[in-house]
Structure 1
Amino acid sequence: MLTRTMIIAPLWALSSVLFLTDFCAGADIITDIADDKCRSLTSCSSCLDKPDCTWCVTKSLCTKNHCGNDNIIFPKNVEALMSGKTFCPRVVESNPDLTFKSGKKDIISVKITQIYLYMAFTPWKCKINLNGKETIHPAVLIADSVYCESLELRNESENPFTEGSVTVLWDYNKAFDGSQRFKVCRCDLQPTCVACK
């Protein structure tokens, strides 16, 4: 036999809840976000430059201490287990002279740090900015490096080399801070380029 139970909350408890048009994930703190200036900041490091902002790692969101049950990174001035930019998920630019041969397929690897365990089980992607265009490619995380799927990098300019960058994305569209820069050489214009040997 099924019975119905009705829970009646006291009126004073309901009066403190604000209803929002913004999304709300499980266990989030419901609050008025209209005056939350932190939300306009899109990277962990820029977020933590502001003394009253915190970075919600799982949501990849800067907010005014409204992360709910998320992993929270506090600004350096706050005494907490995770405070300061050193805890930000970010790219470690390990090779500033990374160079590729134009027209050749290659795999780009990007070293990252502050990888939280749950990130490893999400899809990984590389956002490549080259020749003024952005493209997104599948990637895989192995240890502390992300390997972008093999792709053909092309220097479409009339210059001996062009510069590009790779941004690492996890969970489809959440970006690690920073990027790995690289160059693409045209061997017909610069035969001494290291990638042409």
Structure 2
Amino acid sequence: MSPEDDQESSQASEIPPGPETPLPPLSKLSSAKPSPFLAVHLVDIIYSYCFALSLYNSDWQSDATGSAMVVLSVSSVLGQGGQPETVLEALSYCLEQTCSPAFRQMGGLQFGLGLVDDVITLLTLGTALLCLLCDLQRMVQAGETELKSEKPRKSRRAEIRSTLKQAERKIYFLKWWVREQPGEAWSSLGVIARAEKKFIAKL
């Protein structure tokens, strides 16, 4: 087996399981036209997912609530209800959080730029995106379940669960949307992300 084949096999083995049941057409979920910026939002969400996996050494099950809250802390879309309209805007926010006092011990900007490379790799794989979103949804759901069994302040617990529930709905919708996009959409998005990474690195 060549090194390239071995790398692809390794990447494939790390891809989490996809949907447990087939996803019906997006039109059955909503009659509204999807936002034209969903691809940008996907970049934000992929980065945040990669960040959480790095922080927890790919074992988010060890602390599902903590992992989910990290995702919400880094993601403008899931954590702040943000609506970034460009890949640069999405990446800039994520990198800003990466360099914040809460997370800069991870390695700051250079660590963040490495995660952007991970985002680009996942976009080139294409088919892994749906599996990634399924895993992220499982993470958020597990976080909600953990909260039910814990006893933080009642008002605080309700607030966190509400935020997680909203994030789960966004991830759920994005799963349906991703499944219906043509494969070339992801390679094009990867090219844009790579260009924006170079731009940010020069700042």
Q: TM-score, normalised by structure 1?
A: 0.21
More helix by share: 2
More strand by share: 1
Greater relative contact order, per chain length (Cα 8 Å cut-off, separation 6+): 2
